[in-house]
């Protein structure tokens, strides 16, 4: 039935329309002769159509009154066919005239009704669209916030804010496992919650939580009584009552795979739509991934801090031990010096043999302590380098002359093959001497009698440097020219399986000869670190029982960049 209210102060007109509409049983027709009662009539039973006689006094005011009371009704004005005041159409949805036929009036009413219905539908779908858009925006801004932090407490806060933006809740109860050491219940409420209500919410939350783990063990047993609560109240002047539990509610876990971060329940006075439910689930799921990242990040930070502390302790330990060892070592060395100098009397041949043995081992111990100190200094970033233009051939010559005697005493020959076109490099010459001395000393140690050790240098482009498979991954050279130094021996060589470990700390290759040769196994790792400080690299080729070739390369730079 279409309800029509007819307002006219003309009796004959009322009668005419009354008889006309009452004939048709699709209409419920009622009339008013003036506007005095209008608000009572239309507010009780809103008509679909209101037809107003334009001869009613102050029609514009009446129109306003109707619009304010029932904005959804259609207003049609009845005007006389010769009326001059046609511009009142502005206020109406349609016009009918006195002289219109009944069919025409019905058809005008029907068209207007249909139009109105279409408009209503359009407006509703617009509203839905606007709602979706708003929710999408809320989701978007929430996920942007999620991406911007690795602070777990902030992530939970952003989740709650996001839910408020998208769903405007009355209360959220978030059981968070990840913001503090123990689980905590965060209550974001519009109004104040009494202690009794909070106790009830706690119990409810723990029940909800346990229901998530019906068949398996819950990550933690939660005792509702001792559960810590954080309340955030928007309007503390008002209070929620227990009727809160009659509100519409939704519940979701915050988890990713096996990682459980908590759960959230949300209450609202009006009903949640299916879209609301999707949105709620999405936000609860979305926050889990950044929470997982934050957890991993935190673990990395903690592990790193632990490692750094261990590293520092190790360095301090080495440093202290080395210093403490040096003092007694000095006393032993001084005593041996005095005895060997003959100042305390003549020494027998066998006495001299044992004194020399003691002295050799004091020097060895001293070398070990120096190596340990060097390594701990490099690792602690405390090693001082004195970079200056350096010619590698000068370094080679120095090392050759320093070690020739030792080599000769073992029946070995050191020869050098130095390229002449080698430019100066930016280097600490003393450190390079240390590196080269170590390589040549090793060669002397591990090469049997009557063999040769060759030290060579050349200028070579990185693309022409061949690095074997064992070091391809660890040795990285940038494009450009390098000074390449090679120490080649005809010694015992290194087995394939040991090759990659040659530069590891304390990794002196296990065999009787190396043990006999002595050493800390720190020389090569120190050499590696010293070269890395020069932006250089070290690696080796070797064949068991044939010999080894140790290479190191240091980038060249323009001389003006050196000083």
Q: How far is the CB of 323 from another protein (least distance, A)?
A: 5
CA end-to-end distance (rounded Å), the chain: 100
The secondary structure of 195-247 as a DSSP string is HHHHHHHHHHHHHHHHHTTSSS--SS---GGG-EEEEEEEEEEEE--GGGGGS
d(CA 125, CA 370): 82
Burial of 133 (0-12, 13-18, 19+ CB in 10 A): exposed
Q: How far is the CB of 379 from another protein (least distance, A)?
A: 14
| Residue 170 · residue 267 · CB < 8 Å | yes
Q: Report the residue number, 279 or 375, with the smaller CB distance to another protein.
A: 375
d(CA 141, CA 146): 9
Q: What is the DSSP letter of 87?
A: G
Q: How far is the CB of 384 from another protein (least distance, A)?
A: 5
Q: Report the residue number, 206 or 362, with the smaller CB distance to another protein.
A: 362
Q: Tokens 């209101």 — which residue?
A: 50
Q: Report the residue number, 71 or 384, with the smaller CB distance to another protein.
A: 384
| Residue 176 · residue 167 · CB < 8 Å | no
Q: How far is the CB of 329 from another protein (least distance, A)?
A: 5
Q: How far is the CB of 374 from another protein (least distance, A)?
A: 10
Q: Could you list the residues that contact another protein (CB under 8 A)?
A: 323-324, 326-331, 333-335, 337-338, 343, 362, 366, 373, 377, 382, 384
Q: Report the residue number, 291 or 369, with the smaller CB distance to another protein.
A: 369
Q: Report the residue number, 335 or 394, with the smaller CB distance to another protein.
A: 335
Q: What is the DSSP letter of 382?
A: -
Q: How far is the CB of 355 from another protein (least distance, A)?
A: 15
Q: Report the residue number, 114 or 323, with the smaller CB distance to another protein.
A: 323
Q: Report the residue number, 44 or 328, with the smaller CB distance to another protein.
A: 328
Pairing of strands 547-555, 537-543: antiparallel
CA distances (Å), 181 to each of 10, 153, 199, 213, 288, in order? 82, 12, 21, 21, 18
Q: Tokens 């001059």 — which residue?
A: 84
Q: Report the residue number, 270 or 330, with the smaller CB distance to another protein.
A: 330
DSSP SS3 for 173: strand
């Amino acid at each position: 039935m279409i309800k029509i209210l007819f307002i006219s102060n003309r009796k004959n007109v009322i009668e005419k329309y009354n008889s006309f509409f009452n004939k048709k049983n699709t209409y419920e027709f009622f009339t008013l002769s003036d506007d005095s009662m209008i608000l009572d009539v239309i507010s009780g039973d809103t008509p679909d159509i209101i037809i107003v006689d334009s001869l009613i006094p102050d029609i514009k005011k009446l129109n306003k009154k109707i619009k304010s009371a029932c904005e959804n009704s259609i207003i049609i004005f009845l005007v006389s066919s010769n009326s001059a005041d046609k511009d009142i159409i502005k206020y109406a949805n349609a016009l009918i005239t006195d002289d219109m036929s009944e069919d025409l009036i019905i058809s005008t009413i029907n068209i207007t009704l249909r139009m109105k219905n279409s408009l209503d539908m359009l407006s509703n779908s617009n509203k839905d669209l606007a709602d979706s858009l708003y929710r999408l925006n809320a989701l978007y801004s929430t996920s942007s916030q999620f991406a911007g932090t690795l602070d777990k407490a902030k992530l939970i806060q952003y989740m709650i804010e996001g839910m408020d933006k998208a769903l405007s809740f009355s209360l959220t109860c978030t059981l968070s496992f990840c913001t503090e050491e123990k689980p905590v219940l965060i209550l974001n409420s519009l109004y104040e919650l009494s202690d009794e209500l909070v106790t009830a919410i706690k119990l409810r939350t723990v029940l909800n939580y346990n229901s998530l783990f019906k068949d398996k063990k819950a990550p933690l047993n939660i005792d509702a009584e001792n559960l810590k609560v954080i309340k955030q109240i928007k309007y503390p002047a008002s209070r929620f009552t227990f009727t809160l539990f009659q509100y519409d509610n939704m519940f979701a876990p915050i988890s990713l795979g096996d990682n459980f971060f908590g759960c959230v329940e949300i209450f609202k006075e009006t009903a949640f739509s299916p879209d609301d439910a999707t949105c709620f689930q999405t936000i609860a799921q979305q926050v889990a991934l950044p929470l997982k990242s934050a957890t991993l990040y935190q673990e990395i930070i903690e592990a790193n801090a632990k490692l750094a502390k261990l590293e520092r302790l190790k360095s301090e330990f080495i440093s202290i031990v080395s210093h403490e060892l040096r003092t007694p070592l000095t006393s032993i060395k001084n005593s041996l010096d005095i005895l060997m100098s003959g100042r305390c009397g003549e020494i027998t041949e066998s006495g001299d043999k044992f004194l020399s043995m003691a002295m050799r081992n004091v020097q060895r111990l001293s070398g070990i302590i120096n190596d340990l100190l060097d390594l701990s200094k490099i690792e602690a970033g405390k090693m001082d380098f004195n970079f200056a233009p350096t010619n590698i051939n000068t370094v080679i010559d120095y090392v050759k002359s320093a070690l020739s005697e030792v080599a000769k005493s073992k029946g070995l020959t050191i020869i050098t093959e130095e390229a002449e076109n080698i430019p100066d490099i930016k280097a600490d010459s003393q450190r390079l001497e240390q590196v080269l001395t170590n390589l040549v000393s090793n060669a002397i140690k591990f090469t049997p009698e009557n063999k040769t050790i060759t030290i060579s240098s050349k200028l070579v482009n990185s693309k022409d440097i061949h690095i074997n498979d064992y070091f391809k991954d660890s040795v990285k050279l940038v494009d450009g020219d390098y000074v390449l130094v090679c120490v080649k021996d005809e010694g015992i060589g290194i087995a394939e399986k040991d090759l990659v470990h040659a530069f590891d700390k304390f990794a002196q290759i296990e065999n009787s000869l190396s043990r006999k040769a002595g050493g800390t196994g720190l020389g090569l790792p120190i050499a590696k670190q010293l070269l890395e400080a020069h932006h250089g690299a070290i690696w080796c080729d070797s064949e068991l029982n044939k010999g080894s070739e140790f290479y190191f390369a240091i980038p060249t730079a323009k001389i003006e960049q050196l000083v």
